[in-house]
Amino acid sequence: MLNKKNLRHLMVAAAAAFAMPAMAQQNYAQDSATIKKIYDNALTSFESYENLRYLTKQIGARLSGSPQAAAAVEWSRQVMEDMDLDRVYLQPVMVPHWVRGDKEIGRITNSKLIGTADAPICALGGSVGTGEAGLSAEVVEVKNFEELEKLGKKNVKGKIVFFNRPFDNTLVETMGAYGGAVDQRGGGPVAAAKLGAVGVLVRSMTNDFQDVPHTGNTRYADGVAKIPAAAISTNGAEQLSKLLKNDPNLKFYMRMTSETLPDVLSYNVIGEIKGTERPDEIIVVGGHLDSWDLGEGAHDDGTGCVQSIEVLRLMKDLGIKPKRTIRAVMFMNEENGLRGGLKYAEEAKSKGEKHIAAIESDAGGFTPRGFGIEGSDAQLQQVLTWKPLLAPYGLHNIGEGHGGADIGPLKGQGTVALIGFKPDSQRYFDYHHTAIDTFEQVNRREVQLGAASMASLVYLLSEYGLNGTTAKAQK
């Protein structure tokens, strides 16, 4: 029996099939030839890859508020100014300034089986520190918030709560597995503190078994004690869980010197090519310029930034004159505040700008698979009519999906469609938010393919607009 969601999917697919004759009206041969030129150029140019090399190796990690984040702003502004775009500008935004401090120490102590053993941890973004002496307490393990509530204050007060819910590895799309586990990182410290806990450990957000801890942002709430919160590597989590079963009174020692400093002025960096026929209709393509401080921010999200810049370079180099304005945005502060995305949407609304589509690349620089469309059925139907043009390049996974965090605040401004670029997801969480997210982990050809994929969709959006957002363009 069909449920409402499956029925809707079938109706959209059927509508797209019936709309296929529209492809003939769009001069399929010319569009196919243009897309081929886009791929040919992208796959024989080293510019995006060399841009990534500079961003990661010369600038490095770019946590909001850091000198490296400021350097990345100036670098990306200069790169786009050198492209002779119609406009390059900075959009001011105040961002948080959290600092990690000394390298964290994690240690299992007083275990009957092993005595004392080091455990790889890292502070979660926004966490308070433990103080110079560190924190030592007994540990209580839970898989979810329901288990925590059942324990109650009697069993939690004065202890470190260990959230140990793993990814659901039966899910093929690892983004779904991440979504099913990440709430313990974001909400764990508040839930534990309400019951009197003195600290929190969270299993790292990855489907792999590693000794590398994965950071990521956490949250506090007014009126609730702020307690230190750290991620523990998946191998460390497995070991700690095993030992707790045999020794429920063991203790864990953690030392972190992280702190939050006053907000800092930073910028979104924006470059654009004006549309020749409908310049007031804007297509955004972007990634976030900030990264966590442990590695080099290569997959998250250096690749998204250089791919977005590459979209503009391809248009310029190939002499493509877009009918609609194409704007590349390097968003600041996606990782621990989303202030860049919020500021961009706020400015767009105050200026009465008309965005017809926004594409974000924030899932790593891996082999392209398709796009997730967050919009109306009519908009999805139109994108599906372009699938014959995109499928030859491996873009088969086109359908409903999440647009992206930075472009999310644009939702509700007119009829803008939010589109998430979808590369292969299987390796992303090996590197996500870690010290091993480095330039060496990125494949040059995969980055080039991603840029070409995004540029091809941007070209089609510029030529034809989207159903429900604009009148049909004429060739």
Element (H, E) at 201: strand 199-203
pLDDT given at position 21: 45
Judge whether 470 lies within some domain.
Answer: no
247: left (phi over 0), alpha (psi -120 to 50) or beta: beta
Q: What is the pLDDT of residues 124-157, one digit of tens each?
A: 999 999 999 999 999 999 999 999 999 999 999 9
Q: What is the mean pLDDT, run by run of 10 residues, along the chain of 475 residues?
A: 47 44 65 98 98 98 98 98 98 98 95 84 98 97 98 98 98 96 98 98 97 98 98 98 94 98 98 98 98 98 98 98 98 98 98 98 98 96 96 97 97 96 98 98 98 98 83 34
């999805």: which residue's tokens? 380
3-state secondary structure of 426: coil
The domain that holds 299 is classified in CATH as: 3.40.630.10
Q: What is the pLDDT of residues 220-270, one digit of tens each?
A: 999 999 999 999 999 999 999 999 999 999 999 999 999 999 999 999 999
User: What are the beta bridge partners of residue 420?
Assistant: 360, 372
User: Could you list the residue range(s) of the whole structural domain that residue 204 is in?
Assistant: 101-257
Catalytic residues: 334
Judge whether 90 lies within some domain.
Answer: yes
pLDDT given at position 113: 72
CA atoms within 13 A on the CB side of 373: 24
pLDDT given at position 3: 52
Please give the tally of structural domains in the chain: 2
If asked whether residues 132 and 49 sit together in one domain, one would say: no
pLDDT given at position 111: 72
If asked whether residues 126 and 267 sit together in one domain, one would say: no
CB 191 within 8 A of CB 202: no
- Whole-model pTM? 0.92
Query: Rounded to an integer, what distance in angstroms lies between the CA atom of residue 296 and that of residue 434?
Result: 9
Q: Last residue of a domain, which of 197, 224, 257?
A: 257
If asked whether residues 295 and 439 sit together in one domain, one would say: yes
pLDDT given at position 15: 45
If asked whether residues 88 and 110 sit together in one domain, one would say: no
| Structure tokens, 368 | 């392209």
C-alpha to C-alpha distances, 154 to 143, 194, 349, nearest whole angstrom: 18, 12, 50
